[in-house]
A and B are shown apart, each in its own frame.
Chain A
Amino acid sequence: MDLNKLRALAELADQLETQGFIVEANNVHNLFLKQADQFNEKPKVEFPMDVSDAANNFDSNNYMFDTEGNWQDLISIPEFLDNASDELTHAPAAVDKNHIVLENPENKKIEVINVVPREHWDTIHDPKQEDQKDQDDGSGFIKRADD
């Protein structure tokens, strides 16, 4: 539907309401809403590579992956690739400086892997630190460096 017809529907709804035909105005307004929804912009993100290619964009000596998004339990890139299923390594993906975005083949949902550079490794929450709570502020976190 083009914009002119959409305007025509809006105008009809308006005039129906003005003349007191409220039920009909609502019906036309609902038609208008349904059609107008087609003009809602839907963000489109291209996935130009697969997860394996995306992972290989990062030097395994200098980056690790936070696959759970909880800023702990970092895993090395080779370990990630070894543990990933064929389906996962071939899933569509995109990268930026610190993330891999992918379509999880298990549930078809879009997920993000944080890519953590070496300089942040020792600032990420380490569960082992839980044993040393008394030595710092008790949170188990070491202060995270600024992104």
Chain B
Amino acid sequence: MDKKQEETKAQNLLTQINEVIGKLEDDNEEVVAKQLHQVFIKLSRKIKVKYNGSK
């Protein structure tokens, strides 16, 4: 798998996490949503660094 494909998969994963956060918030599962949001932020930074700040 080339770097571009890896990056796309990682971005898809971010999107997926974001969707789960949205569903949790819809159901007032705010605590879990907040914790997952922290994971999202950290992962987002990590992906940005890993793929040379693209996107």
Contact = CB atoms under 8 A, between A and B. Distances in A.
20 contacts: A1-B27, A5-B20, A5-B24, A5-B27, A5-B29, A9-B20, A9-B36, A12-B16, A12-B17, A12-B20, A12-B36, A19-B6, A19-B9, A19-B10, A21-B13, A21-B43, A23-B42, A24-B39, A24-B43, A24-B46
A28 B36 contact: yes
Interface of B: 6, 9-10, 13, 16-17, 20, 23-24, 27, 29, 32, 35-36, 38-39, 42-43, 46
Interface in A8-28: 8-9, 12, 15-16, 19, 21, 23-24, 27-28
A76 interface: no
Interface of A: 1-2, 5, 8-9, 12, 15-16, 19, 21, 23-24, 27-28, 31, 35
Contacts of A24: 39, 42-43, 46
Given A12-B17, A12-B20, A19-B13, A35 B32 contact: yes
Secondary structure dominating the interface of B = helix
A15 B46 CA distance: 15
B14 to A, nearest CB: 10
Contact of A5 (B13, B16, B23, B38): B23
A35 B6 CA distance: 30
A16 B6 CA distance: 12
